[in-house]
Amino acid sequence: MKLNNLNDLLIHELQDIYSAENQITKALPKMIKAASSDKLKQAFEQHLQETEQQIQRLESVFELVGEKAKGEKCKAMEGIIKEAESMMSEKADQSVMDAALIACAQRVEHYEIAAYGTVSTYAKQLGLKDVMKQLVQTLEEEKKTDALLTKIAEQTVNKQAE
């Protein structure tokens, strides 16, 4: 698809993040299983639920802009998840594995923060207020998740791993 304008780029980026979110819903259950810390498991479980809502939110965004949700595969998220999977296959002490899982999960969140930050800015520029609102809502959830992971790492997991 030729990208002629910012609207085309917005659709392209939305399809990428839609693919990314779908990949994340498949990876998170494995990360929940691999985690030992209750706090970390809980954070992953909560974010899995949020991620499912984020996918629905994206589907409503696609309806608003009259485009299909599918089209792009997010190869970056595929790579980030591959790294997480190879980390989960390592032999590691429980708390060290928890620390490693946080490291992987924060890579996911940072990618999402970049992606949602970008698309919400495009939506704003294009005057798509309802679209922008939904994207900003998800952006805030990703930021909160990232901050929660930092907190769990600093207050619990990293100390135990040390």
Tell me the closest approach of the beta carbon of residue 91 to Fe ion, in angstroms. 28
Name the strand (E) or helix (H) holding 160: helix 158-161
| CA distance linking residue 14 with residue 4, whole number of Å | 16
Give the residue with the Cβ less far from Fe ion, 74 or 128: 74
Of 127, 131, 126, 128, which Cα lies nearest the Cα of 6?
126
Give the residue with the Cβ less far from Fe ion, 21 or 98: 21
Residue type for position 63? E
Q: Phi and psi (nearest 5°) for 127?
A: 75, 20
Give the residue with the Cβ less far from Fe ion, 37 or 54: 54
Tell me the closest approach of the beta carbon of residue 21 to Fe ion, in angstroms. 5
| CA distance linking residue 20 with residue 49, whole number of Å | 15
| CA distance linking residue 66 with residue 69, whole number of Å | 10
Give the residue with the Cβ less far from Fe ion, 95 or 115: 115
Of 49, 130, 141, which Cα lies nearest the Cα of 149?
141
Tell me the closest approach of the beta carbon of residue 162 to Fe ion, in angstroms. 27
Q: Which residues bind Fe ion (CB under 5 A)?
A: 16, 21, 51, 54, 74, 76, 112, 142
Closest residue to Fe ion, judged by C-beta, is: 74
Give the residue with the Cβ less far from Fe ion, 98 or 142: 142
Tell me the closest approach of the beta carbon of residue 93 to Fe ion, in angstroms. 26
Tell me the closest approach of the beta carbon of residue 46 to Fe ion, in angstroms. 11
